[in-house]
């Protein structure tokens, strides 16, 4: 048996019929016999090709509303026979079964069906059974057959046909892709069926890029994509190759910007914000965010929740920036950025994952994302516990600070004024140190600012530090055993304090 596998007989059953015309044309040219099912067979006939229905091969009509079509020895023996095994070949001949050389199958669109909000019964009917069985059979028997699971692979098929058949290396690569395809498919089904209790969770993704290295040069790394939104699926419009750290920071920036409803810019270093701001335009928001901490903004990663326009690009022109991630970029902005060859621009599709996963030694933790879904995140449910009720302007700043503090690593303190951060304290091992860091970064801007804390103040010292810096209003979850002392410190100073009843740790 030679390494090259000629293609004489193909089995085709596809839900996604894109690219089928080009594939069938190549098969006709190579004089390949085609066996097919249902709507795929009808489509192939429409393309002018001769095709044998599966029911003619099995001598059995499809049944159970199409649930059973290809689950038959005349199909699976033709796929699974090892052509280097004389016993297998003799058994095929005795049974009158012809072997297949190529299986082209893509599966019922289960993930697209549930993403569209289909009801339970419809989703169940879009679980493919015969398709995965044929794909796995062909992938197992790659030494004797080639398997194709994605229209993007049709160019490979056409090229191999023109060369007289499939090489061993190509068959092996296609088999690897096929097993990955069915694993991902089954994982999606199991995850969907057990989503309420998180009974089954798997990490399934497609490698889209090898990275130069990981967090440090001695670490190997790669990027895997598991959905069609977010940073992992972003389209890079220009710039140098993305690094592991670029992607991690871009994700943190994207997450921070998307938490806000109005035009917002997040500037990130080492996953923490050094500037966040909201304004009427994205360009104005960028200026406000940059002015929070211009020193730290050097070499930062930026994300927006609106299209980046030419004015934004002009403001950023002289600022060294690693990455800018946005839903889109205007033509004028792209023209402005074009001369900065190292600047990476990412066009990101909005959307959020259904679960969050954190790896720990020996396993991983799974949780629902924190998207301000609690009643306490609505300012109408905040409880005023000291000082006078804030006016609309102060309330807007408090709400901005509250939505911003979740993007800061705990212990987190955000000082804000005019819908922009003026001081951020992050990642300290006690809350009063985070307060001091935020106040020191704000300097004189702390006077008249508002503050948000991602969790309760365990002692009054943190609140006292904020009051001494000139903070006029504070929002925090509450819930400390010393809440009375904390509230008393604010009341004594006449400082407005609201409790939300919900915390936003981020580790």
Selected catalytic residue, list 17, 88, 140, 315: 140
Helix spans in 104-167 (H) = 110-115, 120-125, 130-140, 154-162
> Phi, psi (5° rounding) for residue 235?
-95, 120
**Strand 356-360 vs strand 363-367: parallel, antiparallel, or unpaired?**
antiparallel
> Phi, psi (5° rounding) for residue 15?
-80, -45
163: its two tokens:
């060369």
> Phi, psi (5° rounding) for residue 24?
-65, -40
Positive or negative: CA dihedral 198, 199, 203, 204: negative
Cβ atoms 61, 50 nearer than 8 A: no
Comparing CA positions, the residue from 142, 148, 149, 132 lying closest to residue 171 is 142
Give the whole-angstrom CA distance, residue 399 versus residue 456: 17
Residue 410's alpha-carbon distances to 27, 432, 503, 504, in angstroms, are: 60, 12, 11, 9
260 is catalytic: no
341 is catalytic: no
Selected catalytic residue, list 17, 83, 88, 270: 270
Q: How far, in whole angstroms, is CA 141 from its chain's centroid?
A: 33
Half-sphere exposure of 106 (CA within 13 A, CB side): 17
- Residue by residue, DSSP assigns 228-260 as SSSGGGPEEEESSPPPHHHHHHHHHHHHHHHT-
Q: Please identify every residue annotated as catalytic.
A: 140, 270
């Amino acid at each position: 048996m030679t390494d090259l596998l000629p293609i004489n007989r193909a089995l085709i059953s596809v839900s996604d019929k894109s690219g089928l015309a080009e594939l069938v044309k190549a098969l006709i040219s190579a004089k390949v016999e085609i066996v097919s099912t249902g709507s795929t067979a009808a489509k192939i006939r429409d393309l002018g090709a001769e095709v044998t229905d599966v029911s003619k091969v099995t001598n059995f009509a499809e049944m159970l509303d199409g649930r059973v079509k290809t689950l038959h020895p005349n199909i699976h023996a033709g796929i699974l026979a090892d052509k280097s095994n004389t016993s297998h070949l003799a058994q095929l001949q005795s049974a009158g079964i012809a072997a297949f050389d190529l299986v082209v199958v893509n599966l019922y669109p289960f993930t697209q069906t549930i993403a569209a909000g289909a009801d339970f019964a419809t989703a169940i009917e879009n679980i493919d059974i015969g398709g995965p069985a044929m794909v796995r059979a062909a992938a197992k028997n790659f030494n004797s057959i080639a398997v194709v699971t994605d229209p993007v692979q049709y160019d490979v098929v056409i090229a191999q046909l023109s060369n007289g058949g499939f090489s061993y290396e190509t068959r092996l690569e296609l088999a690897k892709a096929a097993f990955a395809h069915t694993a991902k498919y089954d994982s999606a089904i199991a995850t969907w069926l057990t989503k309420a209790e998180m009974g089954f969770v798997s990490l399934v993704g497609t490698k889209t890029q090898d990275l130069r290295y990981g967090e440090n040069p001695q670490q190997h790394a790669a990027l895997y994509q598991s959905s069609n939104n977010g940073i992992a699926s972003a389209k890079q419009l220009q710039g140098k190759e993305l690094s592991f750290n670029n992607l991690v920071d871009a994700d943190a920036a994207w997450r921070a910007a998307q938490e806000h409803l109005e035009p917002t810019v997040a500037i990130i270093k080492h996953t923490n914000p050094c500037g966040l701001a909201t304004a009427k335009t994205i360009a104005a928001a960028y200026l406000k965010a940059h002015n929070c901490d211009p020193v730290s903004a050097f070499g930062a990663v930026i994300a927006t929740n609106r299209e980046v326009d030419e004015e934004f690009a002009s403001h950023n022109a002289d600022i060294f920036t690693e990455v800018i991630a946005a839903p889109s970029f205007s033509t004028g902005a792209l023209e402005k950025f074009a001369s900065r060859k190292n600047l990476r621009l990412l066009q990101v599709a909005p959307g959020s994952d259904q679960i969050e996963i954190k790896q720990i030694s020996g396993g991983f933790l799974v949780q629902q994302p924190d998207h301000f879904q609690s009643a306490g995140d609505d300012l109408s449910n905040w409880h005023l516990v000291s000082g006078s009720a804030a006016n609309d302007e102060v309330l807007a700043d408090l709400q901005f600070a509250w939505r911003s503090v979740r993007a800061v690593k705990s212990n987190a303190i955000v000082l804000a004024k005019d819908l922009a951060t003026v001081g951020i304290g992050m990642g300290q091992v006690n809350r009063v140190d985070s307060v001091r860091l935020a106040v020191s970064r704000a300097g004189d801007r702390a006077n008249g600012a508002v503050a948000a804390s991602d969790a309760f103040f365990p002692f009054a010292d943190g609140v006292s530090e904020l009051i001494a810096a000139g903070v006029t209003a504070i929002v925090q979850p509450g819930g400390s055993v010393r809440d009375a002392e904390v509230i008393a410190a604010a009341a004594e100073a006449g400082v407005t304090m609201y409790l939300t009843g919900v915390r936003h740790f981020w580790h």
